[in-house]
Amino acid sequence: MKNITIAIDGFSSTGKSTIAKELATKLKYVYVDSGAMYRAVTLYAMQQNLISEDKIFIKDLIKVLKDIKLAFKFNVILGFAEIYLNGVNVETEIRNMKVSRLVSKVAEIPEVRKKLVEQQQEMGMNKGVVMDGRDIGTVVFPDAELKIFMTASAEKRAKRRFDEFMERGEQVTFAETLKNVEYRDHIDTTRKDSPLIKAEDAIEIDNSALTRKEQFEKVYKLAIEIIESV
């Protein structure tokens, strides 16, 4: 069967990464978590004291973008690729609440988006890729054969994120988590550069009431139909 490009966009905590990983594994495609790339840049900015809750030194961050090297390395045990920042595995570190609070601010910066979009397009040059994020179907791969747009209620998404934090032992409240989800929604949908919008030819999936299995089966069926038709 011919390889295609699959773009999965949507709001935070809709399970985009989970479904994309499973789909890539099933199809034997390359999986790229674009959100992890923005989180890694955010983590680097935090390490360099270029961003905090109330301040971000945009010009200084732009200057050091050239020093940021990102790479994905497949973890055989976990079954998916983890992100490395300048040679260091930061897959777990980028998922904490501190990074979650700040990543939307970093993702707003046009120079950051330009750098990462170029890398993402290079990763998907030969097709056979599943990539998830906020602007994959609209900016990174506007010609992707399959575009999915995932959504769910803010409360449902906050509950999922909150449960993840609890499993990792992070001390956060549900109210704080919901506030973060709603804040990220606002930033993602209102930023000037590549805002989160549903591509005209994307298939919307509201997974508020779907199980993980039901969601996967739905997306996998769509992928197979398109792969067999090209």
- What pLDDT sits at residue 45? 98
Q: Is residue 228 part of a domain?
A: no
Domain membership of residue 16 as a residue range: 5-223
Q: Dump pLDDT digits (tens) for 49-106.
A: 999 988 999 999 999 999 999 998 888 888 778 999 999 999 999 999 899 999 989 9
Report whether pLDDT(206) > 80.
Answer: yes
CATH number of the domain encompassing residue 103: 3.40.50.300
Q: Is residue 230 part of a domain?
A: no
**Model confidence, pTM:** 0.83
In the chain, how many domains are there? 1
> Could you tell me the pLDDT band of residue 44, with boundaries at 50, 70 and 90?
very high
- If you average pLDDT over residues 191-203, what whole number do you get? 93
CA distance 59 to 57: 6
Residues 6+ apart with CB under 8 A from 84: 70, 71, 72, 73, 90
- If you average pLDDT over residues 166-179, what whole number do you get? 92
Q: Is residue 106 part of a domain?
A: yes
Q: Is residue 113 part of a domain?
A: yes
- If you average pLDDT over residues 109-132, what whole number do you get? 94
Of residues 113, 59, 107, the one with CA closest to residue 50: 59
Across the beta sheet with 203-206, the strand order is 30-33, 129-133, 5-10, 146-151, 203-206
- If you average pLDDT over residues 177-188, what whole number do you get? 92
